[in-house]
Amino acid sequence: MTEFKLPDIGEGIVECEVVEWRIEEGDVIEEDQPVVEVMTDKALVEITAPEAGRVTRLHVPKGEIARVHAPLFAYEAEGEAQASATPETQEPRAAESPGTASQAAAADVSAKDFILPDLGEGIVECEVVEWRIKEGETIEEDQPVVDVMTDKAMMEITAPEAGQVTRLHVAKGEIARVHAPLFAYAPEHSEQPDETATAAPAPSAPAPRAAKAASSTAEAPPATGLGPHGRIPASPAVRRLLREHDLRLDQVPGSGKQGRVLKEDVQAFLEGGGTSAAESPAPAREAAPSARPPGEEAEVRVEPLRGVRAAMARQMVASASTIPHFQYGEELDVTELLALRERLKPEAQAFDARLTLMPFFMKAMALAIRDFPILNSRLNEAGDEIHYLPSCNIGMAVDGKAGLMVPNVKAVERLTLLEIAGEIQRLTAGAREGRVAAADLKGGTISISNIGALGGTYAAPIINAPEVAIVAIGKTQWLPRFDSNDAVVKRAIMTVTWAGDHRLIDGGTIARFCNAWKGYLEAPETMLLHLG
């Protein structure tokens, strides 16, 4: 029997109310079937079944409170139900080795599966980037065990309690699904069998699996059978492996549930040369590299689009195709700003703050927005309301190892330059490592893309929807300019390019806003008059 524990429903949520059970005790459930609706302090959430089986107990009645990481309902998995339905197959094994069955049962009871919790709204799967543990290792409560990559950021999963790792269900580089087992462990407080007793059944553990696989093969497995969604089930990692060997999914007999093709099935197919040599081009492909004529191009390397890059692709396509963009360019003379920053640097360093130009850009932007609040607004989904936002949360594009991220500094209008500099340091370090909290990525109202840090001069940025504007800042160049006496002088010039949502902003509005922002930056001492 398996206990389904209520997963994380969102940041900070520790409990919820059971609104409606969609199942009853004794019901048969399918994988991903909706089983219960719960109400948090934010929204109504639907919880689905992690796998097929039969419900044995509902722990929390309708209308009562369920706690995150506490048992919500119990079920007998499909495989467990079949095993319990055929006890006669277990009797001979018990007779052959007295005590072995009871020891195995004790081991099963002591081991628990850690179910991958909800990682955020809409996220259903993630890639395992790095395991911090190995099978057999002892873990402590809240110890980091694995790094996973979602389509938003890198996340660190911690151990729910102390114990010993018994199995890693998902290999590094493969896909883990929300509400599915991630790893198994034996809790520290559980009763462990004697070491001499558990050592004996260990080698025989794979035998039932092998026997089951052999019997299923003999009984014509559903190798080409379709799963519940009308196609042969297989994970993205398996499909990638098939593509690498130029195989079709329907060529490989699947030994998993409902004909699912497993990684082991593909490896066995390749090692055996394939069950249908006429249909499978794999053997010919294996000899292809040595037989390729000189001058022939190598095969294209295929890499799945996942994680933050996949999220960026979707976001940019949606923004560019739904928002009518227009561009506006300007030059800033930041000579005085650079001089002011040099004077303030030593004092900032005394507070362990690295003072770049970005805190000045953000503070000046927040001041200019006071006179042009339309730049800090957004259009509702229906397109018939303008929502003016109470805080100026300025996002900054950071090019990290996980891809482009846009964390934002909250409430810039209420922060000092030192406080803004500290937040920028924190967010930049996290984004470059791919470890930005979800809260830091949400709630942005306007964005800055500092392409000048990479040497760029001009750019035509795409708005980070649902925001209404973004500015790309180019590199600083020392260029000749005429002063008020028509003398040629050396000035620090920076180009900026704005992109605006033409549904809310016109050229005149963004020009006047840019002039106000420019005024604060070109004469930075004027900001002192407006600081709270």
Q: What are phi and psi of 408, to 5 degrees?
A: -130, 145
Are 4 and 116 a contacting pair, CB within 8 Å?
A: no
Cα 3 vs. chain centroid, distance in angstroms?
A: 26
157: nearest Cα among 188, 117, 113: 117
The whole-angstrom separation of Cα 409 and Cα 417 is: 12
Place of tokens 């005149």: 508
**Amino acid present at 178:** V
DSSP string, 67-119: ETTSEEEEEEEHHHHHHHH-GGGTHHHHHHSTTHHHHHHHHHHH-EEEEPPP-
Number of H helices, E strands in the chain: 14, 26
- DSSP at 500: E
For residue 143, give both structure tokens: 């110890």
Q: Give yes or no: 506 in active site.
A: yes
Are 368 and 520 a contacting pair, CB within 8 Å?
A: yes
Peptide bond into 193 cis (omega under 30): no
The whole-angstrom separation of Cα 182 and Cα 500 is: 44
Cα 373 vs. chain centroid, distance in angstroms?
A: 33
Pairing of strands 44-48, 15-21: unpaired
The whole-angstrom separation of Cα 285 and Cα 225 is: 27
Q: Which of 59, 69, 502, 530 is catalytic?
A: 502
Q: Give yes or no: 530 in active site.
A: no
Report the half-sphere exposure of 316 (CA within 13 A, side-chain side). 12
**HEC profile for 430-486?**
HHHCCCCCHHHHCCCCEEEECHHHHCCCCCCCCCCCCCCEEEEEEEEEEEEEECCCC
The whole-angstrom separation of Cα 304 and Cα 293 is: 29
CA distances from 127 to 298, 306, 307 (A): 28, 8, 8
Q: What are the catalytic residues?
A: 502, 506
